Chains A and B, each alone.
Chain A
Amino acid sequence: MSGRLTGKVLALHLGILGLLFIAQFILPAYHHTNVARIMVLATYAVGYNILLGYTGLMSLGHAMFFAAGMYGAGLPIYYLQFGAIQAFCIGVLLSLVLATVFGLIALRTSGVSFLIVTMMFAQACYLAILYFNRITLGDQGFILSKSLESVSLGSFEFAFSDPAVKYNVALLLFAGCFMLSAVLAGSPTGRVLVAVRENEERTGLLGYNTYKYKLLSLVISGGISGVAGAAYALLFSYVGASFASILYSIYPILWTLLGGTGTTTGPMIGTGLMFYLVDIASGLTSSYLFVVGAVLVMLILWFPQGIMGAIRTRWLPWLP
């Protein structure tokens, strides 16, 4: 249900961002880095959720948008010594263009066919990165820290190797995408996206060109995924083809399902939980994927709507 962006909802979102801001002064170094990484990945999940949660389109190829952001930002830095901000913009632009072109083609299909088309496109992108290995250095990956200059704003210098810079850049980007998704969910446009999810034919008979709305949703979703990919390259200094693989298309599905599809807060919760679940389980046993699998099965059995979805159904119906 798309609630409007009321005071209560706004307070919740700003409160979460405030907590994340304060957390950097409290967290020990290990968790400090983890949370920065989680925020970048959660940005990816937030983007994914706009398509799956609010428009009802399941993609199995979002890694191509993440990778477009990552390579769009990484290659110009590596080869052309671009500055971080220009490189970031190129990465996001590339993912937006990819999402638009892809959407114009793939949105002629729906349901399972759409799922398969997304997967095939993403695989093509992944294989292309490996095929042009001489340029992309896809199979080994490459490290950016040597070529990436720090950014100076006025008299301040920001080096991406500084954990505080990492954390706050990640927070800033996450905050922007998180708020964008909340505003979108509460807007008349978000209401139409939900209507497409619930019953596309009926939405058309209310006078909406549903194709256009699905394309809009895909472009926003792909663009945010590109933001996350570009940020990942800049902040964690590594670019590699593994981020274009199907695994990175599956992750955002799991994060979003775990946290609750079609909730603004779910993707972040899901990403954080999954991250720490893997982190803790792999410290206990080498077969940590077994633990992860067991948790996911329990989740599907008891909370099929995800964590925030269940909370919304049971206690807080106003959650967006």
Chain B
Amino acid sequence: MVTVDSLLETTALCKSFGGLHAVKDVDLRLARGEIRAIIGPNGAGKTTLMNLISGRMPPTSGQVRFKGRDITGLKAWGRVFRGIVYTFQVTSIFKNLTCYENVALAAQRRLMGGVTNRLVLSERQIAERVQAALLQVGLSATAGQRADTLPYGHQRLLEVAMALALEPELLILDEPLQGLAQEEISAFCDLLRMISQEVTVLLIEHNVSVVLELAEMITVMDNGQIIAEGSPAEIERHREVQKAYLGK
């Protein structure tokens, strides 16, 4: 069943909260290297689906496979180590720590390795990775600053730097553009394009014009289910989608 180049695959994934079916029978398949956007109205189940994929909550039923292996039973921290990295919808950095410390936490996790979890690491090795990640998002100058003193747009970039330092294979971004100014949005899109050259990106975003421009494939959700999937051009033409979401 599993094709070689499918990175992530969910099978009949369900999550209900009491009587509410937040995610219903979702079969999602991501190819390695794509930028996939998930759109849908509020309450469509997008964030819940991301939580199931990242392991922040267990599914009610169904299966998640990553690189061909069943990871349904893995906790979030175990999935991060396998390469699934999640960035929060609400910026969630360590506000009382410096930017350097924030990214160092991510960088040293990757350096620690799997089973042995080395307790002794060279700070120089960590520092190199931190600098590289901060440089990539353009925050090199603020390494020593406390994270909560950064403007909001930079806090989002710091979050991305933390994700990059974890060297993800699948990067999940939950509404990364929320609250950003127009010029910050275009810079962020450039950054995402650069990242996607090496990393598969899964994106939830409300800004439709950006999604249509950025994503290679778009999945549309409504009421916990996938109602359409296709290239940006196909999605734009899709009737149901226009009714449910694009408001045309």
Contacts and interface: CB of A to CB of B under 8 A. Distances in A.
Interface of A: 1-2, 4, 187-189, 191-192, 194-195, 198-199, 201-210, 212
Contact of B80 (A4, A192, A198, A207): A207
Given A191-B101, A192-B105, A1 B96 contact: yes
A198 B97 contact: yes
B104 interface: yes
Interface in B91-139: 92-98, 101, 104-106, 108-110, 112, 117, 119-121, 123, 126
Given A187-B119, A202-B92, A207 B77 contact: yes
B106 A206 contact: yes
B162 interface: yes
B94 A202 contact: yes
B166 A206 contact: yes
Nearest to B165: A206
Contacts of B119: 187-189
- 3 tightest Cβ-Cβ pairs between the two chains A and B: A207-B80, A207-B109, A188-B108
B105 A1 contact: no
Contacts of A1: 96-98, 101
A201 B123 CA distance: 25
Contacts of A195: 94, 97, 105
B80 A199 contact: no
Interface in B4-57: 54, 56
Contacts of B80: 205-207
Contacts of B108: 188, 191-192
B86 interface: yes
Contacts of B76: 204-205
Contacts of B88: 202, 205
A84 B108 CA distance: 42
B168 to A, nearest CB: 10
B78 to A, nearest CB: 8
Contacts of A209: 75, 77-78
A191 B104 contact: yes
A210 B166 CA distance: 17
A221 to B, nearest CB: 16
B97 A4 contact: no
Contacts of A187: 119-120
A96 B108 CA distance: 28
A203 B105 contact: yes
A204 B77 contact: yes
A198 B109 contact: no
Contact of A206 (B96, B97, B105): B105
Contacts of A202: 88, 92-94
Given A191-B105, A202-B92, A204-B77, 11 more contacts: A188-B112, A192-B108, A194-B97, A194-B101, A195-B94, A202-B88, A204-B76, A205-B77, A205-B80, A205-B86, A212-B117
Contacts of B112: 188
Interface in B118-172: 119-121, 123, 126, 162, 166
14 contacts: A191-B104, A194-B97, A194-B101, A195-B94, A195-B105, A198-B96, A199-B94, A202-B94, A206-B80, A206-B109, A206-B162, A208-B77, A209-B75, A209-B78
B171 to A, nearest CB: 13
A180 to B, nearest CB: 13
B124 to A, nearest CB: 11
Given A202-B92, A205-B86, A210 B77 contact: yes
